[in-house]
Amino acid sequence: MNKKILCVLLALVLLFSFTACGGGGGNGGNSGGKDDGPDYEGMSMDELYELAKQESGTITVYATTTDASTAAKKFAKAFPDLKIEYIGCDTNTVASKIEMENETGNVNADVLMVKDNSGEIYQELVLYDVLHIFYPKTICSHIDQSLLTYGLPLYSTFNPWYYNNEKYPDGVPLESWWDIVEGYDEATGKFKDQKWTIYTKDITGPSYAALWAQLIVDADKVAAQYKKQYGKDLAYTYTGKLKNTAGIMELPENNAGVELFYRFSQMKMTELDDGDGVVEAVDKSLNGPTLGLTSASKKANQSQGYNIEWVTGLAPYTAFQACSYLYVVDGCDNPAGARLYISFCLGGEDGQSGCYTSFDKIGAWSVRDDVTFEKSSAKWEDVNLTTPDFDEIYSVYPNVKAYWTYWRSLAE
């Protein structure tokens, strides 16, 4: 039985074991995959605290964001008789680190805080009980059920395109993703007159490859937008370039998302390691109309005088709603302490009994319906975000990364 089929079967099993909170995946509130442990999900923070005091170890948090450091400091102040440690981890290596510690029995972390933009964390660690999803009932009653499928979200964000709002003072100069690849000649399969100068973070990174994978999954929507915008059916020009010399890669034929991706891969562009460099290039716009793809948090550079703004309202959607998730590590030394920290991060039962507002920053939105983040000027609904389908993204995005490398090698 191949891994994908096994994952689907596991997901179906988990579907029938949803908690009252409405989430999916993992083994709920029990540590180590056992069903006879404490009912952590129904416990208050006070009850978790009493259990945590009986655990002698240090609560260790692996996190890919420094926000977790601030949360750990506030946690230590709120619970001075508990020990806590924050360890910063690289997004690209933290999953393998957690998996290796699990396989060797040398589990160091109690909590993992990480974005799962590609579905890898869920498919490869949660479904295999390396990580467990904690669904505190009271907190989850304030979170949209659709956001609970793949884990307990802390906050949501997205990876937008940026434009220069000094050059375009009337607002977003794009209608859809097809406008980004304006100038592509379908007859020759090349760009005759590329409108936009493109700067982007590495497309093979999970956040960006997953975004393109979602567009491929939603091919019907992408095709419908093309016909609406241009009044004709989309012409497919990539199908003759589906295989590399080894003939081992796979993407579907006659897929509008793949066609969009192929056209984008043939553009003249600059890929940068640093998102700050992307928005700086948009601000300068030295070579005419410029777009940059990077994280939403880089909008904070407006405070340095950058003339940058998010591209919002793209059809069929601007991006997907990406979440930072909190997980309990299987076999950890502090199962109650881990859950206490997670509940504290999310503000406890009332949204105020913790440090939830510590995660209020530009490019982030609260996932709680009773707490509003103030630092992002736009509401995520106005940005036009879709909910990701990580089951489908996970099956597509490895080939997105592979084809990006291959198709970029064909670009002139």
Question: pLDDT tens across 256-304, in order?
Answer: 999 999 999 999 999 999 999 999 999 999 999 999 999 999 999 999 9
The answer to whether residues 120 and 268 belong to one domain is no
- Does residue 74 form part of some domain? yes
Domain that holds residue 131: 3-157+323-377
* Structure confidence at residue 37 (pLDDT): 75
* Structure confidence at residue 29 (pLDDT): 42
The answer to whether residues 316 and 201 belong to one domain is yes
* Structure confidence at residue 28 (pLDDT): 40
Give the torsion sign (CA, 376, 377, 380, 385).
negative
Low-confidence ranges of the chain (pLDDT < 50): 1-35
* Structure confidence at residue 244 (pLDDT): 60
* Structure confidence at residue 241 (pLDDT): 86
The answer to whether residues 166 and 43 belong to one domain is no
| Beta carbons of 148 and 23 less than 8 angstroms apart | yes
Q: Which token pair is 405?
A: 């490398």
Question: pLDDT tens across 250-266, in order?
Answer: 899 999 999 999 999 99
The answer to whether residues 165 and 120 belong to one domain is no
* Structure confidence at residue 36 (pLDDT): 53
| Beta carbons of 14 and 128 less than 8 angstroms apart | no
CA dist., res. 314 & res. 311, Å (int): 7
The answer to whether residues 180 and 233 belong to one domain is yes
CA dist., res. 110 & res. 340, Å (int): 11
The answer to whether residues 178 and 245 belong to one domain is yes
For the chain, the domain total comes to 2
- Does residue 40 form part of some domain? yes
Burial of 188 (0-12, 13-18, 19+ CB in 10 A): exposed
The answer to whether residues 215 and 195 belong to one domain is yes
- Does residue 204 form part of some domain? yes
CA dist., res. 162 & res. 298, Å (int): 9
* C-alpha distances in Å from residue 206, one per residue of 84, 212, 360: 29, 10, 23
Where do we find the tokens 């996970």? Answer: 394
- Which residues, other chains included, contact 6 with Cβ-Cβ below 8 Å and sequence gap of 6+? none
Q: Torsion angle, CA of 61/209/295/363, rounded to 10 degrees? A: -70
Q: Which token pair is 191?
A: 């760009």
Question: pLDDT tens across 323-367, in order?
Answer: 999 999 999 999 999 999 999 999 999 999 999 999 999 999 999
- Does residue 387 form part of some domain? no
- Does residue 382 form part of some domain? no
The answer to whether residues 190 and 216 belong to one domain is yes
The answer to whether residues 205 and 345 belong to one domain is no
The answer to whether residues 132 and 7 belong to one domain is yes
Q: Which token pair is 410?
A: 């064909």
- Does residue 340 form part of some domain? yes
Give the torsion sign (CA, 53, 56, 62, 68).
positive
Report the DSSP beta bridge partners of residue 153: 325
- Does residue 384 form part of some domain? no
CA dist., res. 408 & res. 281, Å (int): 21
The CATH number for 258's domain is 3.40.190
3 state DSSP class of 365: strand
- Does residue 383 form part of some domain? no
What is the pTM for the complete model shown? 0.88
The answer to whether residues 201 and 66 belong to one domain is no
Q: Which token pair is 180?
A: 């980004």
